[in-house]
A and B are shown apart, each in its own frame.
Chain A
Amino acid sequence: MTVLDMRDVRKVYRSGDAEVVALDHATLAVDHGEIVALLGPSGSGKTTLLSIAGGLLAPTEGSVVVDGEDITGHDARRLTAFRREHVGFVFQSVNLVPFLTAEENLLVVDELGGGKGGRAARERARALLDELGLAARGSNMPSQLSGGERQRVAIGRALFNNPGLVLFDEPTSALDTQLGEQVMELIRREMKARDTAAVIVTHDTRMTHYADRVVRIVDGRLTADPVPA
């Protein structure tokens, strides 16, 4: 079953008279439990594609269906609810709320969804942190965590609501190779354990073998990589 179904998506940015075509007739389908690596040079449109898939940005043309919900014409309010309920994000830079502990950074997802933050939510947060190797870090503030630990908390946050689709924007770019590989391995393990689909943006070809499939993007155009690494 398809979790993410983007068809003929175009995104044109206008700044003054200039037009930038960030995505050009991009069509991409991702199945349940499938991990897709999106590989491309800087400025090729990777973040733009991720933003459209995650309901952060409306496409200029084309349609986007996630988890069976067509979000193409959603207004800002419905997109907010969609992001809260259906997707998980791990962003390139800021991922944690600095005044919340690691555990609270997970619980905030429940809170935003109107949850009561009760025992069940706390137990779930602890189990998830445990799974990510952060059992002893739950009450640490983000500033007291290493880069890799922070990235793992962000992964936990993205998974907390059991989304069908998790979007990663360069999750390893700030980490050294060894740590990066560990994080990728962790991502793969967690996705497979939950049968969750993932799109992982990277420009590092050494990371692509953790994916089931590699999609390349150049100047806003997608080309599928026939041979999975």
Chain B
Amino acid sequence: MFLAWHEMRRSKLRFGLLTGAVGLLVFLILFQQALLGGLITQFIGAVRNQSADVLVFNDQARKNIEGSIILPEQAAAVAAVEGVAVASPLGESTFTVQADGSETDAVVFGYVLGGPGAPTTLSAGRLPTADGEAVASEKDEADGFGIGDTVTVLGPGGTLDLTVVGVARDLNYSVSPTMFTSFDTFAAAKRVRNGLAEGTAVLPSVLAVQVADGADAEAVVERIAAAVGGVEPLTRQQAVDGSPGVSSVRTSFGVILGLFYLVVPLVTGLFFLIVTFQKASALTLLRAIGARARTLVVALLVQVVLVMALGSLVAFGLYAGALQGVKNLGVRVEVMPVVVTSLVVLALALVTSLVAVRRVLRIDPLDATTGAGVHL
């Protein structure tokens, strides 16, 4: 500690610059992760934050709810599978709506009230209890989707009013304002949009399945897949992860994030290697007067940990500040990702510092007698 601390104290600029660089890089990682999380939530939050344990897609839909449709006989077959407590229709479609006086696109989910497929992240108001009521995505509260607002579905078949009775967090789908209403209201909205006669049947997009008490969702998925033809059952998490938008966003962000996760430890490892070279003669002297190699290695690692810890603090400050500026992206400051990222980056930096550690271990105290000190 003595050596580590005094050296840092006397080279404030050098260590300060490294700390700043680490802070900026870790901040960029955090920020990108938050953006990625926010983006994914906006793509698929409605699926993640609804109550069905299992969603049954048409097997032609490639896990895309927009392109899925379930036939009545399939619905009946799914309901008969062992472990399925309830299988009820869940409809999803994009509509042109009028909200807050202007036209916009909105996604509407229709579920059987009281059944699976209800929003689980209600933050104000209540769930719909009657036709014509809806829960809306909280993010769009200020744009005419707040509690008490009326949202009007427009179409060749006329108009249909939905009254917002509650808002729920992270409920967006496909980056659009999103509402959950009764399946019958959804069907009526679809008829309005498509100009269909009243009473025309509307098929569900997917089935929302609630598994029986004690049943395992994955096992139920397997059983449905084996028992019912033409469908692709997925657990809620599988439906989120498998959604085409989510996986492509994950892949492109993943590459960038991976590069950042490499750059931080490389920069740190290189810095400490250079510093170790520069003070080789002092380290040699210390070894010659009886410093254990371990003492010098510990001093080095203490510096790595201090720099990474301070850098992470800087990153957290920048991150919290920056997220204030992008609130409308649906991104929130969370402590866990910061802690996890900091620990991962610290672990990687310790690994790359092993190159500098190796240099320290290779110092030959005899070199103090010649003043050579540096063995490249």
Residues A112 and B369 in contact, CB atoms below 8 Å apart: no
CA distance A77 to B258 in the complex (A): 42
**Bound CA–CA A214/B285 (angstroms):** 28
Interface window among A27-35, A65-73, A89-97:
A89-97
Closest to A107 in B: B2
Name the interface size band of chain B: 20 to 34
Is B193's CB within 8 Å of the partner chain A?
no
Residues of B within 8 A of A24 (CB): none
Residue A203, interface by CB 8 Å: no
Asked whether A112 and B289 contact (CB < 8 A) given A92-B371, A117-B2, A169-B369, the answer is yes
A43 interfacial by beta-carbon distance below 8 Å? no
Which of chain A's residues have a CB closer than 8 A to the CB of B281? Answer: 94
Residues of B within 8 A of A169 (CB): 369
**Which residues of A40-72 are within 8 A (CB) of B?**
47, 50-51, 56-57
Contacts of B10 in A (CB 8 A): 99-100, 141
A57 touching B6, Cβ below 8 Å:
no
B286–A112 CB distance below 8 A: yes
Which chain A residues numbered 105 to 130 have a C-beta less than 8 Å away from chain B?
A: 107-109, 111-113, 117
Task: Decide: B6 and A104 in contact? CB cutoff 8 A.
Answer: yes
Check if B324 is an interface residue, CB within 8 A of chain A: no
Shortest Cβ distance from A138 into chain B, in angstroms? 14
Is the CB–CB distance between B371 and A98 below 8 Å? no
Tell me if A112 and B282 are in contact (CB < 8 A).
no
Question: Is the CB of A81 closer than 8 A to any CB of chain B?
Answer: yes
Q: Restricting to B222-241, which residues have a CB under 8 Å from any CB of A?
A: none
* Chain A residue, CB-CB nearest to B368: A91
Complex interface: chain B residues within 8 A of A47 (CB): 369-370
- How distant is B16 from chain A, measured CB to nearest CB, in Å? 15
In contact, A80 and B2 (Cβ under 8 angstroms): no
Q: Is A83 touching B6 in the complex (CB atoms < 8 A)? A: no
CB distance from A164 to the nearest CB of B (A): 14
B370 touching A97 by the CB < 8 A rule? no
Q: Are B289 and A83 in contact (CB under 8 A)?
A: yes
Q: Which residues of A contact B370 (CB under 8 A)?
A: 47, 92-93
Contact partner of A99 (CB less than 8 A), chosen from B7, B287, B290, B369, is B7
- Write the nearest CB–CB distance from B287 to chain A, whole angstroms: 7
What string of 1s and 0s marks CB contacts (under 8 Å) between B1-12 and chain A?
Answer: 011001100110
Say whether A157 faces chain B, with CB atoms less than 8 Å apart: yes
Interface pair B371/A93, CB less than 8 Å apart? yes
Q: Is the CB of A111 within 8 A of B2?
A: yes
Using A77-B292, A81-B290, A108-B3 as known contacts, list a sample of 5 further A-B pairs with CB atoms less than 8 Å apart, ordered by residue number in A: A80-B287, A94-B371, A97-B286, A112-B295, A169-B369
Seen from chain A, the residues whose Cβ lies within 8 Å of a Cβ on chain B are 47, 50-51, 56-57, 77, 80-85, 89, 91-100, 104, 107-109, 111-113, 117, 141, 157, 169
Q: Which residues of B approach A to under 8 Å, CB–CB?
A: 2-3, 6-7, 10-11, 279, 281-282, 284-293, 295, 365-366, 368-371, 373
